Copies of this chain bind each other. A is one copy, B any other.
Amino acid sequence: MKKKICVVVASRANYGRSKFLMRAIQDCEELELQVIVGASTLLQRFGTVAKIIEQDGFHLNRSIYYVVEGENLLTQAKSTGLGIIELASAFHDLKPDMVVTIADRFETLATAVAASYLNICLVHLQGGEISGNIDDRVRHAITKLSDIHFVCTGLSRERVIGMGENPDFVFNYGCPSIDVLRNSDLSIQMLKNVKFTGTGCELDLSKPYLLMLQHPVTTSYGNGYLEISRTLLALRKFKDYQKIVLWPNIDAGSDDVSKGIRDFRESNLDEKFFFQKNFSPEEYAVVLNNATCCIGNSSSFIREGSYLGVPAVIVGDRQVGREHGENVVLSDYDEGEIEVRVKQQIDKGRFQSSDLFGNGDAGIKISNWLAKAELKDIVKSQLP
């Protein structure tokens, strides 16, 4: 009988990081893939990622709405609670042998708690990282709930083992998000026939552009409006470049960030800014790969960016402590400093590709391991 592996995809970022793993599981004879989509993947204002997943050929076993609206700290907690309730029911029905949860957000914790209480073997991707946010707590808490850890860097592996996990079940196969990069033609021509649905200026991808993506920071909840505004104002200085701005994820504070973007947009209608809700993982990879510089606090600038060698300016402290390659410089939330850093990075130009986050074969390696694993031999180690 095939081993049933249930992947829970609960955000745009989740999908970018698990797509090639999902495909590898789907292609593996010993495994049966179950897919649950939930949370913001079902919401129009986050680009209805669930539809993209279906179009990519995956069967959705369950679609679960569990975002309590409000985008503040309270509703984030309540969404976690609602997610646990419904995910537990879904796991109870689908009876997977293993559940895969990704990274460090409230949706991820809901998956981890529901699977743990149901005694289902829990597989965690991207443990052991550090970013500087409530995400750190959540990520490490998930590590302590998980049975098997597929981490993305050597240092992450050390950290997971350092927290007391059994080294026999902590694997550094690199990050599956790199798989998307390696397996795609990332030249800008790939997008020449794509009509983007965003708003703002005319967008001509054959000409230089900056890419911006800045999420709210939950531990400094309430400052998002100011933070995003400063970055936007700094970027306005770069008149020669088009600026592509992505909308933020659903974390607490998202409303503030979005409002900052909307207000900026409406008073800067003549500037060369283009605002986009969502790209498919492949589109995003191309857009990222061909950016002159990327600015904000998305971990993709660090993770995918290091592999691609794209210059990046990380603003604020959302990623403080995260390992990064040479392509990254940091900046405070300061209009002037951001401007300077971006200018410096543009001048440096493209960096060498780094394999800090893997070589692009993580999905297949993980899938192979899952195929041959014996559930009964998996032992959650205990602290000494």
In the complex, chain B residues whose CB is within 8 Å of the CB of A86: 85-86, 89
> Which of chain B's residues has its CB closest to A106's CB?
B117
Residues 129-151 of chain A: 1 if any B CB is under 8 Å from the residue's CB, otherwise 0? 01010101110111111000000
* Residues from chain B with Cβ under 8 Å of A224 in the complex: none
| Contact partners of A92 in chain B: CB under 8 A | 63, 74
The answer to whether B69 and A88 touch across the interface, beta carbons within 8 angstroms, is no
Q: In the bound complex, do residue A80 and residue B84 qualify as a contact, i.e. CB atoms below 8 Å apart?
A: yes
Q: How far is the CA of A74 from the CA of B380 in the complex (A)?
A: 21
| Docked pose: A50 CA to B321 CA in angstroms | 39
Interface with B: A108-116, A186-194, A228-236, A359-367, which one?
A108-116
Contact B116–A137 (Cβ < 8 Å): yes
A75-B65, A143-B144, A383-B162 given; A259·B44 CB < 8 A: yes
Cα–Cα distance between A137 and B252 once the two chains are bound (Å) = 27
Pairwise interchain contact B159-A119, C-beta atoms closer than 8 A: no
Complex formed: what's the CA distance from A119 to B74 in Å? Answer: 10
In the complex, how many angstroms separate the beta carbon of A235 from the nearest chain B beta carbon? 22
Residues of B within 8 A of A119 (CB): 73, 134, 218-219, 221
Residue of B nearest to A137 (CB): B145
A377 contact set on B, CB distance < 8 A: none
A44-73 near B? 1/0 per residue, CB < 8 Å: 110000000000000000111111111001
Q: Could you say which of A81, A84, A136, A163 has the most chain B C-beta atoms within 10 Å of its C-beta?
A: A81
Q: Which residues of B contact A70 (CB under 8 A)?
A: 42-43, 65, 67
A275 to chain B, nearest CB (A): 11
Residues of B within 8 A of A221 (CB): 119
Asked if B65 contacts A69 (CB within 8 A), the reply is yes
Is A297's beta carbon under 8 Å from chain B?
no
* B117:A89 contact, CB within 8 angstroms: no
Give the contacting residue for A67; candidates B69, B218, B255; CB below 8 A.
Answer: B69
Contact residues of A between 139 and 188, Cβ < 8 Å to B: 140-145, 159, 162-164
For chain A residues 180-227, which have a beta carbon within 8 Å of chain B? 199, 218-219, 221
A272 at the interface (CB under 8 A from B): no
Nearest chain B CB to A340 CB, angstrom units: 28
Interface string of A68-108 (1 = CB under 8 A from B): 11100111111011111110110011000000000000100
- Asked if A373 is an interface residue, CB under 8 A from chain B, the answer is no
User: Does A379 lie at the interface of the complex (its beta carbon under 8 Å from any beta carbon of B)?
Assistant: no
A-B contact pairs, 24 of them (CB 8 A): A43-B70, A65-B78, A68-B82, A69-B69, A73-B119, A77-B88, A81-B82, A81-B88, A81-B113, A81-B114, A86-B86, A86-B89, A119-B219, A130-B383, A137-B144, A141-B141, A141-B142, A141-B144, A141-B145, A143-B144, A144-B163, A159-B383, A162-B163, A163-B383
- Known interface pairs A62-B93, A81-B114, A159-B384; 15 further A-B residue pairs with C-beta atoms within 8 A, sorted by A's residue number: A42-B70, A43-B69, A63-B92, A65-B68, A68-B82, A73-B118, A73-B119, A76-B117, A78-B88, A80-B113, A81-B110, A136-B380, A144-B163, A162-B384, A163-B383
Interface residues of A (CB under 8 A from B): 42-45, 62-70, 73-78, 80-86, 88-89, 92-93, 106, 109-110, 113-114, 116-119, 128, 130, 132, 134, 136-138, 140-145, 159, 162-164, 199, 218-219, 221, 252, 255, 259, 266, 321, 380, 382-384
